[in-house]
Amino acid sequence: MSKHVMHKPPRKKPMWPLLAAAVLALVLAVWALVSALGGGEDPAGGQENGQQTEQQKPSEEEQDQQRQELLEKAGTLADGYFYDEALEALAARPELQNEQTEAEAERIRGLKAGLVKYEGQLYHVFFHSLIIYPELAFDDKGHPAEGYNMWMTTVKEFKAMLPLLLENNFVLYDITELVEIDASGQARPKDIYLPEGKKPLVISVDDVSYYDYMAPDGFATRLVINEAGDVVTEVKAPDGTVSQTYDGDVMPIVDQFVKEHPEFSFRGAKGVVAPTGYQGAFGYRITDPDWFTEEEFKKICDDTRAIAARLRETGWQIACHSYTHNSFWRGDMTLEQVKDDLGRWKELMTPYVGETNILITPFGGRFGTEGAVYDYIVKEMGFTIICPVGAGMSTSYQNGSMMQDRLNLDGYTMLEHPERISKYFFDPAAVVDPARPPLD
Ligand SMILES: [Zn+2]
């Protein structure tokens, strides 16, 4: 950015003689600079530019174009259920008002008035990191192919699922907007308002750490923020070339899909990203400082923080998927084990991925809503949203937390229990990747 400024001085040169002439010239110079820097989109600049419009009144053609852009912006906001924001955008440009903008405002007010309280079932599906190259995942070199075949979903399958979910009226919904904790510490459902017929869906992604063992098997190796500011996947192709892609995992694919179909996301909600801690987050080994020089370590910590922040800004929540992913999470854990695990999460992960009140239990483990383990997790550590695994996707609210079961849309469910998916979503036969080997 500093380079950019250095190229600018041409503006200063012609100013010098003027400065010598009179104070008026200085005023003009500052005014010119301010209006140049202010650009056309500065919302605060509206009033100050009042006099400017007399000098340089936009032509009818220009006004028309600005109006079309405004209508497009308002339409996109409204498609994403940002009704008030769309109306505000229209109202902020009174000079562009005509019967077209009036009609659009009327349409948006109608959409807003059409929201109805949602009383139906809540839906939550989950994935692991997506298989980009099935030929590597299923070659049985490295990690056994059967594990991937059971618990993973391919990029091709995931891309095929999104339009079906959209077609069937699902809309991505922020999980933290499904629950509120009242003054007495009790959890209860928060009201949901959606257009008639729409159904709220949460998508979560487990183990977003890009473990070492997966590296040779055709998965992304880490998340990065590209020059456009998007969180994208870094992928190593079978021929060894490394590139940044928009379709190497759930997050960039959903981001792109929502860009094309804003009606698939309620007010910008995307999903939940759940790393563990023992190999860091998002492909950055932030819990292994010994592997790096001080400088390298600082860089990966900064990168992790930036990715977490960008994910949150773009509609993603970050959840804890435990630090260790130890098998005690299957359900027979002691208080000491949980304290050690979540204590490490708190100390070593939250400084980089941020605080979270969402716990996605490893192995879909579940525990009772009373007792020392529960009190520690919910009351002491603040995990008021707990997500195990359960095909019925039931949601319950009790004793300070919301528990929400999730359905895995992976090879196991698609091939062994397709009815679990077709009951709510779509026929999985329509999306199963032919590259999958048969599941015995
Ligand atoms: Zn897991």
Q: How far is it between the farthest Cα atoms of the chain?
A: 89
Q: Is 141 in the same domain as 168? A: yes
What is the predicted pLDDT for the residue at 46? 41
What is the predicted pLDDT for the residue at 43? 41
CA dihedral of 416, 417, 418, 420, whole degrees rounded to 10: -160
Which has the higher per-residue pLDDT, 109 or 440?
109
Mean pLDDT, residues 297-308 taken together = 98
- 292 pLDDT higher than 70: yes
The CA 272 to ligand 1 mean position distance, Å, reads: 13
Note the pLDDT tens digit of each residue in 20-45: 455 555 444 555 544 544 443 444 44
Encoding tokens for residue 405? Answer: 């079961």
How many structural domains compose the chain?
3
The answer as to whether 161 is a domain residue is: yes
What is the predicted pLDDT for the residue at 258? 98
Note the pLDDT tens digit of each residue in 146-193: 999 999 999 999 999 999 999 999 999 999 999 999 999 999 999 999
Residues 354 and 318 sit within 8 Å (Cβ to Cβ): yes
Encoding tokens for residue 1? Answer: 């950015």
Residues 220 and 250 sit within 8 Å (Cβ to Cβ): no
What is the predicted pLDDT for the residue at 430? 96
Note the pLDDT tens digit of each residue in 190-217: 999 999 999 999 999 999 999 999 999 9
Nearby residues of 14 by Cβ (< 8 Å), 6 or more positions away: none
Q: Is 103 in the same domain as 139? A: no
Average pLDDT, the chain: 90
Q: Is 178 in the same domain as 190? A: yes
Encoding tokens for residue 382? Answer: 């603040």
Note the pLDDT tens digit of each residue in 58-113: 888 999 999 999 999 999 999 999 999 999 999 999 999 999 999 999 999 999 99
Note the pLDDT tens digit of each residue in 348-357: 999 999 999 9
The CA 325 to ligand 1 mean position distance, Å, reads: 7
Encoding tokens for residue 142? Answer: 């490295």
Mean pLDDT, residues 281-295 taken together = 97
- 5 pLDDT higher than 90: no
- 368 pLDDT higher than 60: yes
The CA 121 to ligand 1 mean position distance, Å, reads: 25
Give the percent of the chain with pLDDT over 90: 83
Model confidence band, residue 391 (pLDDT cutoffs 50, 70, 90):
very high
Q: Is 234 in the same domain as 312? A: yes
The CA 331 to ligand 1 mean position distance, Å, reads: 14
The CA 324 to ligand 1 mean position distance, Å, reads: 10
Encoding tokens for residue 82? Answer: 């940002």
The answer as to whether 147 is a domain residue is: yes
Q: Is 104 in the same domain as 184? A: no
What is the predicted pLDDT for the residue at 56? 74
The CA 159 to ligand 1 mean position distance, Å, reads: 22
Residue 327: count other Cβ atoms within 10 Å of its Cβ.
Answer: 12
Task: Check which CATH number belongs to the domain holding 353 and give it.
Answer: 3.20.20.370
Encoding tokens for residue 199? Answer: 């159904």
The answer as to whether 270 is a domain residue is: yes
Residues 224 and 236 sit within 8 Å (Cβ to Cβ): no
Q: Is 134 in the same domain as 152? A: yes
d(CA 85, CA 37): 25
Q: Is 224 in the same domain as 166? A: yes
What is the predicted pLDDT for the residue at 142? 84
Q: Is 179 in the same domain as 264? A: yes
Q: What values do phi and psi take at 151, rounded to 5?
A: -105, 0
The CA 183 to ligand 1 mean position distance, Å, reads: 33
Q: Is 109 in the same domain as 195? A: no
β-pairing, 271-274 vs 316-318, is parallel
Encoding tokens for residue 372? Answer: 């020392």
The CA 113 to ligand 1 mean position distance, Å, reads: 41
The CA 391 to ligand 1 mean position distance, Å, reads: 16
d(CA 267, CA 260): 15
The CA 282 to ligand 1 mean position distance, Å, reads: 14
What is the predicted pLDDT for the residue at 58? 83
The CA 16 to ligand 1 mean position distance, Å, reads: 66
What is the predicted pLDDT for the residue at 440? 77
The answer as to whether 54 is a domain residue is: no
The answer as to whether 52 is a domain residue is: no
The answer as to whether 324 is a domain residue is: yes
Mean pLDDT, residues 394-410 taken together = 97
Q: Is 91 in the same domain as 153? A: no
The answer as to whether 332 is a domain residue is: yes
The CA 275 to ligand 1 mean position distance, Å, reads: 8
The answer as to whether 416 is a domain residue is: yes
Kindly report which listed range (3-12, 312-321, 360-369) carries the lowest average pLDDT score.
3-12
Note the pLDDT tens digit of each residue in 327-353: 999 988 999 999 999 999 999 999 999
Q: Is 103 in the same domain as 184? A: no
Per the structure, the complete domain to which residue 247 belongs is given by 117-430
363 φψ region: left (φ > 0), alpha (ψ -120 to 50), beta (else): left
What is the predicted pLDDT for the residue at 31? 53
What is the predicted pLDDT for the residue at 276? 98
Q: Is 24 in the same domain as 152? A: no
The CA 79 to ligand 1 mean position distance, Å, reads: 34
Give the percent of the chain with pLDDT over 70: 88
